[in-house]
Amino acid sequence: MKVAVVGATGMVGNIMLKVLEERDFPVDELYPVASEKSVGKKVFFKGKPFEVIGLAEAVKKKPDIALFSAGGQTSLDWAPKFAEHGTTVIDNSSAWRMHEDIKLVVPEINADQITKDDKIIANPNCSTIQLVVALKPLHDAYNIKRVVVSTYQSITGTGVKAVLQLENEYLSQSGEQAYPYPIHKNALPHCDVFLENDYTKEEMKLTNETKKILSDDAVNVVATAVRIPVVGGHSESVNIEFEKAFEVEDVKQKLKAFDGIIVQDNPQMNTYPMPIYAEGKDEVFIGRIRRDFSVENGLNMWIVADNLRKGAATNAVQIAEYVVKKFKV
């Protein structure tokens, strides 16, 4: 089993290597791949150093699986080249997600859509993954009409530059900025770029990707995405309106029974999900589950997940695990 990790020196790439190791993914040959400026650097996997190679060299090695986390343009340029050599590419960028011929996969929901011929598979946006994991069992039971979501997103979703900005501001030091304003002691209602409709690209990802993953264009999703000075993971305040009536206790039971979800919901004991506890974990944590008394068949809940793990690296590795098991790659 030959595995390439493209973007191995980046924040998500590092977590991909960690998750591959933790989950004991069958790696016989590992190819850490990065841009030319990183070629020759060392990364560690299972305690051993591996030298970073360039993209062209990695293609020639014809890996069985290539996990991509190197940006949209790199994916557009290079994923097809790997695929032409028989490699199954699992891409963490936004490049292929809404392409009609590319599967957008959260394994707990729609891994069964993957076929042996799918050589490029898209990993959804981090904030979308945790949302749809929570929505899926409830949509199956009660038929979702509308979702209103406000996100509280970790700076790690922006990358190392944002982490350094927060650290510099905390220490009252000057340095390069990832954001147009300070992030320390602040909240920026601005994730990714603004589009013509005045929503950000991040907000529209939540709308469009949710419909595609749930295979239902009738699910209306509207979002406001906010960046906050947190490292551990993304949080989401979610309001759902269903077609069918529900009981709150039944909602909790359906969430508890769904793979990959941990319900933390005991207000009397101050038990609810928080990014400080989600960091480093692969599950989606759900709490503050309560009826919305302002609308018929309405529900409120709070969702938290580590955006670098389930929101990126872990989901990609889970897709790879499915492909290897199903198709004996």
d(Cα 275, Cα 203) in Å, to the nearest integer?
20
Q: Encoding tokens for residue 38?
A: 């990183």
Q: What share of the chain in percent tops pLDDT 70?
A: 100
pLDDT tens figures, 52-73: 999 999 999 999 999 999 999 9
Calculate mean pLDDT across residues 263-271.
Answer: 98
Q: What is the pTM of this model?
A: 0.97
pLDDT band at 328 (very low <50, low <70, confident <90, very high): confident
Catalytic residue selected from 85, 99, 190, 234: 234
Catalytic (active site) residue 234: yes
Site of tokens 């293609």: 59
pLDDT band at 318 (very low <50, low <70, confident <90, very high): very high
pLDDT tens figures, 160-181: 999 999 999 999 999 999 999 9
Nearest to 14 by CA among 50, 59, 63: 50
Q: Does the structure show a pLDDT above 90 at 329?
A: no
Burial (Cβ within 10 Å: 0-12, 13-18, ≥19) of residue 233 = buried
pLDDT tens figures, 131-159: 999 999 999 999 999 999 999 999 999 99
Q: Encoding tokens for residue 95?
A: 């490049």
Q: What is the mean pLDDT of the chain?
A: 97
Domain 127-307: which topology?
Dihydrodipicolinate Reductase; domain 2 (3.30.360)
Architecture of domain 2-124+312-327: 3-Layer(aba) Sandwich (3.40)
Q: What is the DSSP string of 196-262?
A: TTS-BHHHHHHHHHHHHHHT-TT-EEEEEEEE-S-SS-EEEEEEEEESS---HHHHHHHHHHSTTEE
CB 16 within 8 A of CB 67: yes
d(Cα 167, Cα 154) in Å, to the nearest integer?
14
Catalytic residue selected from 99, 126, 139, 184: 126
pLDDT tens figures, 207-251: 999 999 999 999 999 999 999 999 999 999 999 999 999 999 999
Site of tokens 């692969």: 282
d(Cα 81, Cα 149) in Å, to the nearest integer?
37
Q: Which amino acid is at 314?
A: T
What are the extents of the domains in the chain? 2-124+312-327, 127-307
d(Cα 305, Cα 96) in Å, to the nearest integer?
23
Checking DSSP bridges between strand 220-227 and strand 29-33, what pairing results, if any?
A: unpaired
d(Cα 118, Cα 322) in Å, to the nearest integer?
12
pLDDT score at 319: 98
Calculate mean pLDDT across residues 253-261.
Answer: 98
pLDDT band at 275 (very low <50, low <70, confident <90, very high): very high
Q: Does the structure show a pLDDT above 90 at 187?
A: yes
d(Cα 181, Cα 172) in Å, to the nearest integer?
14
